[in-house]
Amino acid sequence: MDWTGLNDAMRGRIRALNRTIPETAKGFAALSKAAKEDGVLDVKTREFVALGISVAERCEPCIGFHVEALIKAGGTREELADVLAMCVQMGGGPSLMYAAKALEAFDQMSGRT
């Protein structure tokens, strides 16, 4: 899977949706901004939480976006592996499959492959 291409394509789809439902898009953007503002947890930790939920919910575009944000926040492959282990422990086989997708996304987007 081309994770960068998936992210780019999804951004285009989101822009089209946002034009169609502008008030909902504004509300979601405000929610996203508020959730990311400074607090007790740093950005990297918040992105790990978001990625864990992305794996549990089996949302490939979410995995792509949160892996990208995680790399920008300085997340390491080793830290990612710990989070993915917890995803597998909590979600069983389906989470194992999506954890593998998240690792693939990280490797591609961080230049490991």
> pLDDT by residue (tens digit) across 74-100?
999 999 999 999 999 999 999 999 999
What residue numbers bound the domain in which 49 lies?
Answer: 3-109
Q: What is the Cα–Cα distance from 90 to 100, expressed in whole angstroms?
A: 15
Query: What is the per-residue pLDDT for 50?
Result: 96
Q: CA 55 from chain center: how many Å?
A: 8
> pLDDT by residue (tens digit) across 32-43?
999 988 789 999
pLDDT at 31 over 90: yes
Find, among 16, 63, 66, the residue nearest to 45 by Cα: 66
Torsion of CA 19, 20, 26, 32, to 10 degrees: -90
CATH code where residue 63 lies: 1.20.1290.10
Q: Is the pTM of this model over 0.95?
A: no
Q: Which residue has the tokens 């081309």?
A: 2
> pLDDT by residue (tens digit) across 42-77?
999 999 999 999 999 999 999 999 999 999 999 999
Q: How far apart are the first and last CA of the chain?
A: 12
Domain count of the chain?
1
